[in-house]
Structure 1
Amino acid sequence: MAQFASAGAAPLCQICSQPITRRIRKSRDSGRCCSRACGFEMMRRERSASRAARLARLAEVRKAKRQRQCIECGGVFEARASAKFCSYHCSASSKAVRKAECTCQECGSTFLPAYGDKRRNFCSEFCANRHFKRVAKGLSRAKAYGAQAEPINPIAVMERDGWTCHICGEEAPRELRGTMHWNAPELDHIIPLSAGGSHTYDNVACAHRSCNLEKGDALPLGWTDPQRLWVHRGSGGLA
């Protein structure tokens, strides 16, 4: 809209604010600019404002099209069409959840391996160290007796035996593994190392802690030495 200096006066130029004296009937700047130069400047400013408004609208449209919802945390973020996660953390968490749960060979608990961690046998460094120390201890003890020895995984033996005591035939609860409970599952040498038995998978079995202590270094049924023969009676002792 043209500006007026005062009532009844000539309108002022929208660019330089000078009175408009030129009269051009067919022109976009007629009655708005005092000269052709001001008219060109006005059109340049209008085109610039129109372009800025158009770019702003286009940016809003693009922003709306680029908005995605993270499938892990549900947050809204801007990214390309193929993006599914708002951050590396959400991507790693989703991949970890999609992985199959693993069972710790030491404590028996289930866990989800951390992203990028290739270890699937132990839930922590503590369980890993504890397991390997136990395996090494079994090997060193067998070698002290001069017996044949191989690395034995106690959990694998107990899984093989179905977490059942081979002495009394009752269940040895997995959750008691590693405790001092009388019913806790332990690794027992069927033929004791002191009697020439080997530290191999064929000579070990799952047993209750109490049954293992009760058996001691006695021999199983069918052994040729009757003095060391042991029969489980539920309260301990030799036959």
Structure 2
Amino acid sequence: MHYRRWRKEQRIVSDVPCSVDGCTEPRWARGWCTFHYSRWNEAGDPTAPFVNKAVGKYTDAHRCKSPGCARKVRVNGRCHQCNKQLKYGATAHELAERDGTDCSICGKPVDMTLNRNVSMMGPSVDHVIPRSRGGSDDPENLALAHLICNISKGNRVSGAI
């Protein structure tokens, strides 16, 4: 590995092509290019078909919901490319239009102009039955709440703090 890296840094490229038929890349280790050497290292055969290991591991639930993006989602619910937060079945503003602007936990009005990244009294989406207890992201299971109320509620089913 270090020798190949040194050759690349020194721009020492072999004039001899890879020994696999049809490949024109320069040969590196064992007479193969880097791709065929990695295929030999993983599958035991440099001509083995490439199998994408990620296929089948991720379902649509693990994909970013942003328009035009199908990348896998990180643990924090954000796509590594477009950095968009996964959307639930409804946004906080849609819930405010549906149910009104009162907090579903404390009953006080939620100021919809506040940004939840700045103020703990900003709007947030609360799962009535938390996802950790089998709840879903359907709009029927979502309610509007203050961010501080939602955090203090945790994964409890009841709205009592």
Q: TM-score, normalised by structure 2?
A: 0.44
TM-score by length of 1: 0.31
Higher helix fraction (1 or 2)? 1
